[in-house]
Amino acid sequence: MRKLDLTRRSFLKLTAAAGAVAALSAGATGQALAETDAPAASAAGEVKRVRSCCRACGKNECGVYVYVQNGRAVKVEGDADTAFHSMGNSCSKSQASMQAAYHPDRNYYPMKRTNPKGDADPGWTRITWDEAYSTIAAKFQELKDQYGGECMFFMGGTSRIWTQHAYGGWLQLVGSPNAVTAWQICKGPRHYATQLQSEFAYSWMATTDRPRVFVQWGTATEISNYDESCRATVDIANTADTYISIDPRRTNLNHEADVWAHLTPGTDGALGLAWAQVIIENNLYKDLFVKRWTTAPFLIAPDMEPSGADLESGIAWEPLLPMRTRIVKECDLVEGGNPMRYMVWDELAGTDEAHPLHGNDATGHLTYFDASTGLWEGEPDEVWDQFYENPQPNLPELTVPGRIAEDSPFNPEIDPALYGQFETVLADGKTYTMRPAWDIWVEYLQDFTPEKVADICGLPADAIRDMAMLWATPIDPATGYGNGGIQYGLAPEHACNSIQNNRIFDTLVGITGNWDTPAGNRGPSCGRFSGAEDAQPTIVTGHFADLADAGFHDKILGHEKIPMLSWWQQWADCNAVLDAALEGTPYPIRGGLCEASGILNQANSNKYWEALCALDFFVVQDLWKTPSAGAADLILPVYHWMEVDCPRISQGSTGAQGATCRAVEPPAECRFDIDIVTDVYKAMGVPYADDPVSFGLPEGCVWPTSEQLFDKVVAPMGMTWAEYKEAFQEHGWWDCREIAPETWGTYRRYETGMCSMEYLVTPAGNPMKGMSTPTRKMEIWSPALETYMPEGKYNLPTWEPAPRTAIADPSIVDEWPFLMTTGRRIPVYFHSEHRQLPWCRELWPAPRVEINPADAEKLGISQGDWVWIESPNGKIRQTADIYYGIQPGVINTEHQWWFPELDQADGGLGLSSINCLVDPDLQDPICGSSYLRAYNVKVYKATAENSPFGNPCPCGDDGTPIICDSSDPRLKKWLPTYDEAVRNAK
């Protein structure tokens, strides 16, 4: 078998083929493989250049140009003219987009199943769109009438915005609370944690500001196009004064790091707490921020009965949210007191016995912060208007600096205590001892000193201390803020500590002056259109309010095991939905629909497949016949990104606003996802917008077209969608700091009342300062977690070892000796996508497991050998990649592999998909994210004797081996087709 590593010669030829404007000659099938020289350019047909936003990876907004000749896309290249955020990047996935758009196996027509689920041949038969819509409408109504709307669930995929109706539109159509989204295990925990603690999605780091100290934690954006583009990440690493990489394995980029921390997989939270301990011990935290903008000084009475109020959520379809906490409030001190007034101990003021809240200690007294007004006791309600210009060095060309709000002082001056014990008599007549939340957390942190964490993380104590000091010590104190935020990725979300790990990161960023500051963690970009409607409205007006009245949120699957889902309300637990499909408890799941999603991303893949096959009715809309589609009753064909019109704004903090613009016409009978969902609403007789005018649509427009929805989205720009597209072609990408100076062009928006969530609720006047939490503070002590998980172990940012590791259970290594991490990015793939694109599959034909040479030698494994990887839940095969960049005793596997070349319904998902090893019942206790990495397994060589069909290489059900060699002739069957007659014959 040929080595899996492609030669430099082949890669350069691939690049040349991808870069030729006329790589696809008119009227003939293009030669797609790297070995094939590009044909000469055709003289016929003018080449048109369309500015757009690439969606080949689904997670970024790289600015690109699509070149079109004779109506056909012939080249994709980066927009280096205006795309300041992606800097002209165009990765291999982007350049291979032509092979996806013109792929012979693409879905072109609605299809229905005629053979039983599980058959190798589903018997797909072409039907009309009218038949597809009427079938969906009839089956959805039948299931709703028989079981209730909650018997259906809806799957959403890789954040392409136009395929996000599983987060809103589909749920509301049938009255179901059960969204099953990749969001639950893919950046969703970060968004969940920061909404819980500070502001929604403030996990994103403002990379276009170029941090002075670049901390890359559990992510590799230089190859993944996640949060920003490849080239931008390399530029950040090169311009930073210090580059710190925290990753169990060596990567191409962290070879250049000033500090590489190869921590033990799954111990991210412990290392983060060690950083916090070092920062606090060395007084490197911003005292004013901690006291003024966090719950750190709020007084906790551990022996007090929790008390509080039911709070308005601020969102029309959500019910009142309860809050019961041991934070001392005015209502705990005096009968009839305000439950939104949180008490602190002011160390500056003397005793004022006339004040009903003040104690008798001569060195201070109680005062309060009023979350209902956003003001401290006696503080005037004034607009903060003190700013200075952003002095951040190394800003990329084409960006504007923006302005920074000055730190506001306490007025009147107070000094909330962070340490100490204070006694007071509460309204029940009893005396209680109170402590600031900070004091309690600092005491907890003594179990996470560098010396104690060294054994947990496998890093020297001095190295832990030095990293924390490097990051937290300001290089230029005159700026008034820190060295930059933390770019943290998926890895910390997958070892049963998702929410707490992300709370630790959010706290670190906040207390060091890197929260909503230049190069800090800022959250989703705010342009001239923002929030859930940044590309198209998935929320249908009116319907959610009706569902809330019907007890909608009490039915979310999984909330009994994971109580915080009742607070979060954004997804049902995937594993609980699978249980309901297989076992019918607590109620049956009988139907569903999937938009651009898959079954390889969470829970256990084999269980997921079994559950989909058990459904009475399942619909998939996608480009391909994926493993999800293998369980479908209907398949609906959709647009490729080069065929789509859609407004775009940076999901993260890169601050770019633009558009995806149609470059080529959609083929055959493919339709836009947005129009599909609206058409199904119409087929069921349900208005998509029951009050169009208040929804920003023309009167009577109850089933809007995508263009009408986009008119609504871009209306704040003073344009129609058609005008906006034209302006984008001429102007290019807009810097949100320039076009939205009050929201994105201003840093420290908590000082001005312009944090993202609050701005959307109160876009004018004097919105309340602070964060969008019940306390209006960064909640280092979380009232929500205290309310829903009253055992108290998650009130503060804490950490516990992942359950199936030697840290939690030392005996586990006796049978399962290797600690496994997984999920690393592959440059040519995005999660499960692109395995059928010849350019991509040629470069990376088969899944690999990285193993240290010493471990490989002990096991008799050589480079390229197929090996078994086994857990108590299953076993799969991948090829050995012997690599010094992984520590002995640790392996790194690849995720979401399936094999489009196999002629079977499940796409061979059980052969190499690492999630077949997952224990579905082990999850993060707060959000339910799956236990996807940092668990122990065994590894052994695959041989003819221990392999099905006597072949170590994985084979399909009929014995057909997978493609695992770049010279496999089957790759040529996936060369693009441009002939309409060929598509019509499918």
Active-site annotation, residues: 93
The whole-angstrom separation of Cα 644 and Cα 161 is 11
The whole-angstrom separation of Cα 732 and Cα 648 is 12
Strand order in the sheet with 341-346: 341-346, 365-370, 375-376
Distances (CA, A) of 93 to 393, 837, 840: 32, 9, 7
User: Greatest CA span in the chain, whole angstroms?
Assistant: 92
Closest CA to 292 of 337, 344, 366, 351: 344
CA 886-891-896 angle, to 5 degrees, is 120
Question: Where are the alpha helices (H) located in 824-943, listed in sequence order?
Answer: 838-843, 853-859, 909-912
The whole-angstrom separation of Cα 67 and Cα 48 is 6
Gyration radius from the chain CA atoms: 28
Distances (CA, A) of 295 to 91, 788, 795: 43, 18, 11
Closest CA to 653 of 194, 960, 316: 194
The whole-angstrom separation of Cα 154 and Cα 572 is 10
Sign of CA dihedral 685, 691, 696, 700: positive
The whole-angstrom separation of Cα 976 and Cα 974 is 6
723: Cβ contacts below 8 Å, ≥ 6 apart? none
Kindly write down the DSSP assignment for every residue of 563-625, as one continuous string: TTHHHH-S---HHHHHHHHHH--SS---EEEEES--SSSSS-HHHHHHHHHT-SEEEEEESS-
The whole-angstrom separation of Cα 201 and Cα 626 is 30
The whole-angstrom separation of Cα 282 and Cα 276 is 10
The tokens for 27 are 């009227």
Q: Would you give the distance in Å from CA 950 to the centre of its chain?
A: 41
Assess whether the previous peptide bond of 801 is cis (omega < 30° from 0): no
- The DSSP bridge pattern shows strands 656-660 and 866-871 to be unpaired
Using CB atoms within 10 Å of the CB of residue 907, give its burial: 0 to 12 exposed, 13 to 18 middle, 19+ buried: buried
374: left (phi over 0), alpha (psi -120 to 50) or beta: left
Closest CA to 278 of 457, 472, 439: 472
Determine contact, residues 179/156, Cβ cutoff 8 Å.
yes
